Structure formats: C-alpha cells, structure tokens
Amino acid sequence: MAWNSLDDVALAGKVVLTRVDINVPMEDGKVTDATRIEKIVPTVEDIIARGGKVVLLAHFDRPKGKVVPEMSLSRIVPAVEAVLKRKVVFGTDCVGAAAQTAIAASGPGEVVLLENTRFHAGEEKNDPALAADMARLGDVYVNDAFSAAHRAHASTEALARLLPKAAGRLMEAELKALDAALGNPARPVMAVVGGAKVSTKLELLGNLVSKVEHLVIGGGMANTFLVAQGIEVGKSLAERDMADTAREILAKAKEAGCKIHLPVDVVVAHEFKANAPSSIMVVTACPADGMILDAGSETVARIKAAMSQCATLIWNGPLGAFELTPFDAATNATAKEAARLTAAGHLISVAGGGDTVAALNQAGAADDFTFISTAGGAFLEWMEGKVLPGVAALNV
C-alpha cells in the first residue's frame, strides 16, 4: 500500500487533527509510565515546525460511550505538558463548540488535547456522523497511533477518509519496520514465537510458516507441540486438545519449507516459583511430576546457530517463564545474541507484544534491536496477516 508521511502534506497554517495513543497507566492521579506520551514527541514537533497547529485526539481506558470523570484526559494534561515542554490547552469534548473553543484559544507553539474520544458511543462503532463532526475541526488528519490501528473506530478509520491524511512519525516507523520484517524482508527470515498457549496464536503460526524460513516455538506452546509428537511433558503447561492442530501446523511448515525449531533439551522443576531447584535434561526425559519452565542450553545454541544464518528476525513472546529466575535464561541468551548480531549489522530485528518488550528490556537487549513495537494487539494482528483498518484507511 501507499501512504503519505508528514513530508507529503502541506501543514503550514493548517489545523492538524492528530490521532495518538496516550492511554497511559495511572496511580493516585499520577501517570506512572509516560512512554506513550514520549513516543508522540517527534510528530508533534514536526507538525509545529512545519507551521501546523497540533490538535490531539485520543482515547483513555474503556468508558463504553459514556462520560466517566475518572477516565477524562484532563487528568494527564500535566504529564503531556511535562513531556512536550509546551502549554497544552484542554478541550472538554472532542467535537462541537467545546473543541472549537479550545482550538481557537491555543496560541502559536501550543498543543490542544481534546477529551476522550470514547466518551462518545459512536467512536467504537466507527460512526460516520461522529467522524464528520471531528473532521469539521481541522484541515489535515494524521494518524500516529499504530497501537490502535487494528480497531475500526471513528477517530482511526472513518475520519481518515474525510481529510487529507498522513502517517505520523511513530506510525511511519512502525510501518517501515513491519514491511522490513515480513512485507518485503531480507532473507532468510526467522520468527521467534513464545507464550503460554497455541490457541491464542493459531492464526499467527499459520501465517508465519508460509512467510519465514525458520520458526522458533517456545514457552508453554512448545509443550503442546512436543505432546503432538508423542513426547510426555509431565505437569507442564500444555493444551493437549490442540495436538491435532499442532500437527497440522507442523505439516504445513514442512510443505512450505519452513524449519520449525522446538526444544531439544529443557529446564525442569517441580514447582512454579523463582529459584526453584531445577535441572536440564533431554526433552524426552521430563518426569511425570516435573514442569518444563525453560528451553535448555543446547536448544539455545541451535537457535543462535540458525539465527546467525538469517538476515531478518521477528520476535513475539518469551521462550520460557522469563518472569522467574533462572527460567529467564533461554530468553535472555537468545535476545542478547539477536542484539549482538543487530549491532554488528548482520540482522534486522523487529519485536513486539507486551511480554516481549518486558523480556527484551529485562535481558538488556532492547536498545540494540532495530525496532521494538509498543503495540500489542495491532502488532499481533499484523503478524497474523490481517488488514489493520487504521492503516488501510491511510492508503492513498
């Protein structure tokens, strides 16, 4: 698809309706993690530098179409001002007179933040009338919220079809990284997919086997694949009712020429807690009262060897119970190798998903990855090969 960046649209003297994701965590009335606000800085600064007036559209929490005071975006104005280092004028609605008044009241270099789009029932229904009311407020539409792009909402989809439009800098970076990872990647490509359940990532695995040369399956879902091959996994987390599905995926991978990497050795403990006594054993030796909590060192060595032959890596999910030491070892070691290869210029590495970001940060590897997406559901749906409405609406 073809889409405009900020470089492709005239912004001077224009009111720029800018859809962002600043749905940040709060505690005791204070923002506890401003990362999502920090991510919008390049887009805001660029629009202002090009002579545009920034009007931020955003959702916050899930008010389900009703005005819920504790979900008002007014609560995060101080945090937005602190991050942007600019005055923020708040509008008590995202449409109508209140929004128009806020926009008119803002001066040069100031930013307007309009109230929670989800206070309107039409937002999540992708109501064209609500989108039209929003469109009357501005001259240009910019979407910088990839993390909300899998939702066909009024402010992410319908509005994009009513005004000259462009991707913001964060959206642009996401789209370029995703294209480099799966759309038009340098080959060979390796995908690392971990997590607890096969059932939540069926579409993902089904899509990847036809797109990549190497697929590493880790975490609890690897146990399901082991069971499907007749390997006993004791008390390990496994979806035994998904064995037939796992076998279908293995067959599809073989047909597509995709090599599946499953554990050949595992770290086994008898209780699920940090620093529980454990031992490494061949994958076929898990005792009936044992739990597989991580991949073993030989498995990691084989993944590293395959990774060294690849040009692109896409990663979603940990290889073991990374939140508990020492069952973070396989994830940490593999992530550090990916970071090393990336820093050396041998690998394009793209990762995403909540657990993934946490695991890579914990491993100290995140900074060297080519790109880490902070989008959860949107990143996963994109990996599944789905069309994201908020991205499709930017097509020109």
pLDDT at 128: 98
Query: Amino acid identity, residue 177?
Result: A
pLDDT at 182: 87
Q: What is the mean pLDDT of the chain?
A: 96
pLDDT at 355: 85
The candidate with the shortest Cα–Cα distance to 41, out of 193, 150, 170, is 170
Query: Amino acid identity, residue 354?
Result: G
C-alpha separations of 295 from 232, 248, 300, 305, 383 in Å = 15, 23, 7, 15, 24
C-alpha separations of 275 from 138, 325, 328 in Å = 57, 6, 11
User: What whole-number distance in Å separates Cα of residue 396 and Cα of residue 394?
Assistant: 6
Q: Which residues are catalytic?
A: 36, 197, 354, 377
DSSP string for 152-184: --IIIIIGGGTS-EEE-HHHHHHHHHHIIIIIS
pTM of the model: 0.89
Tens of pLDDT, residues 101-142 = 999 999 999 999 999 999 999 999 999 999 999 999 999 999
Quick one: average pLDDT of 204-220?
A: 95
Residue 170 has pLDDT above 80, yes or no: yes
Strands of 291-295's sheet in order across = 278-282, 265-269, 291-295
Neighbouring CB atoms inside 10 A of 109's CB total 11
The candidate with the shortest Cα–Cα distance to 373, out of 61, 21, 43, 1, is 21
Neighbouring CB atoms inside 10 A of 106's CB total 20
The candidate with the shortest Cα–Cα distance to 220, out of 204, 234, 230, is 234
pLDDT at 110: 98
Quick one: average pLDDT of 288-311?
A: 98
